[in-house]
C-alpha cells in the first residue's frame, strides 16, 4: 500500500473530524485519525524495508557479477601467461636471441 493511498483516507477522516459537532463524534474522528496515522506509519515502514531489501539484493547481484568478471579476467590472464611462458621456453630451447627462460629469467644472447 503506498503512502499516497494512505494519506487520502487520513485527510478525509481529519476533515470529517473537524466538522463533527458532538464531543463523541470528535473523539471518534480523533480515534480514526490516529488509526489512519498508525496505518500510514506502518505502510511507510514496510515500504522502507522493501526498498532496503531490494537495494541489498541489487548490491549483492552486482557484486557477484563483478566477482565472476574478475575471475574470468584472472583465468584469462593465467592462460595467456602460460601460453607466453611455453613460447618463450621453446624460443630458449631453439636458442633464439632475445628469448627469456621462464624458469630462470635469463635472456638468451
pLDDT in tens, 21-48: 678 888 888 899 899 999 999 999 999 9
pLDDT of res. 26: 81
Q: At residue 14, does pLDDT exceed 80? A: no
pTM for the full model?
0.53
pLDDT of res. 25: 82
Residue 107 CB neighbours (<10 A) = 11
Given a contact cutoff of 8 angstroms between Cβ atoms, the answer to whether 13 and 29 are in contact is yes
Instruction: State the cell numbers at 74.
Output: 584472472
Instruction: State the cell numbers at 55.
Output: 537495494
Tell me how far apart the alpha carbons of residues 12 and 36 are, in angstroms, rounded to a whole number: 10
Given a contact cutoff of 8 angstroms between Cβ atoms, the answer to whether 30 and 7 are in contact is no
Amino acid at each position: 500500500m503506498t503512502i499516497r493511498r494512505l494519506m487520502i483516507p487520513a485527510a478525509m477522516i481529519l476533515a470529517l473530524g473537524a466538522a463533527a459537532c458532538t464531543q463523541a463524534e470528535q473523539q471518534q474522528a480523533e480515534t480514526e485519525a490516529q488509526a489512519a496515522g498508525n496505518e500510514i506509519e506502518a505502510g511507510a515502514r514496510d515500504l522502507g524495508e522493501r526498498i532496503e531489501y531490494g537495494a541489498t539484493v541489487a548490491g549483492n547481484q552486482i557484486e557477484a557479477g563483478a566477482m565472476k568478471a574478475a575471475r574470468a579476467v584472472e583465468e584469462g590472464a593465467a592462460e595467456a601467461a602460460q601460453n607466453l611462458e611455453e613460447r618463450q621456453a621453446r624460443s630458449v630451447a631453439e636458442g633464439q636471441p632475445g628469448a627469456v627462460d621462464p624458469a630462470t629469467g635469463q635472456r638468451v644472447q
